[in-house]
Amino acid sequence: MSVADEDEENPYLRDPPTDFVSVEELSENEAREQVELLREAIREHDRRYYVESEPLIADRTYDALFARLRDLEEEFDLTHPDSPTRSVGGEPMEAFETVEHVEPMLSIDQSGEVEDVREFADRVRREVGDVEYVCEPKFDGVSMEFVYEAGSLERAVTRGDGREGDDVTRNARTIGSVPQQLHGDHPEFLAVRGEVYMPKDAFQAHNRERIERGEDPFANPRNATAGTIRQLDPAVVAERPLAVFYFDVLAASELEDTHRGELERFPEFGLRVNDRVEVVDDIEDAIEYRDRMLEARDELGYEIDGVVIKVDDRDAREELGQTARHDRWAFAYKFPARAEVTPIVDVALQVGRTG
């Protein structure tokens, strides 16, 4: 159903009213009905804002809808784990629970040498024949597993050692691009892999705020992301500008035949994908893609340190299999290391013992 079709059913989607009557004037049934409409509308507004970058309403209007939902839930005791209001934090945790991944989150074989990329493609051709590849930016953030059951976010787990990681679900719920509830005709069970990151502009602004408060700035966006997602206080995470790109299915009750098919469906579910993904016919096109991404690197709003080249066909992936450490159907073609500049924050002069 399109947004236009939904307008008649949900008054809070397009040009929503914000001149609400006092919550004390509503009956419990009226409050329940309004809460459901507000939750549905806010989820759609989140999807339009974070996934499609096409918001339907102004930020001020969104804030008014959100505040109304929060007031109703508090007044009538209608809080729910899947409510958008759960994305603003909560009580600090004492520690994270370590949990096992639905499927192992293996690493990717990688190199900065073009000969190694061609060797990867030669091996793929020998084992499964000619294939198409999906080329994606290699995000320099924090990889995580997101598990949805019946469309509801059940848990979010850091990669850890690849077999198990920290359950940071409460922190993940505070990130705007992590839907609490999937949209559309989603699988009953879906475990996806995503990269949590801090956009460059947001990172710079956040560091300025830290310096103004007398705190040490983060060295880079990746460190800022890693330090944030493992905060024990979700309210701290909610204040920091994290975002997510989703890029792989780890497990699902329904699987597409190709990786590109999965990525095409992600936005339908409210899962944000990167707009620089390309499908190519051979490895030379993938190499050329990497060169273009290296050229565009500084123009992007997020940090990348290479590209990932993946076999598109799922049957071919199954045949290629994996080693104990990495999937054999993917290869990361890394960028040259950046020249790092270490700022001098203080100079201390002293006389040595020999004068």
Residue 272, CA atoms < 13 Å, CB-side half-sphere: 20
Is there a contact between 198 and 229 (Cβ–Cβ < 8 Å)? no
Q: Is 200 assigned a catalytic role?
A: no
φ and ψ of 16, to 5 deg: -70, 145
| 181 class by beta-carbon count within 10 Å (0-12 exposed, 13-18 middle, 19+ buried) | buried
Select which of 138, 200, 310, 334 is catalytic: 138
As a whole number of angstroms, the longest Cα–Cα distance in the chain is 86
Q: Please give the Cα distance from 160 to 154 (Å, whole number).
A: 18
Q: Are 293 and 305 in contact (CB under 8 A)?
A: no
Three-state SS letters, 206-273: HHHHHHHCCCCCCCCHHHHHHHHHCCCCHHHHHCCCCEEEEEEEEEECCCCCEHHHHHHHHHHHCCCC
Active site members: 138
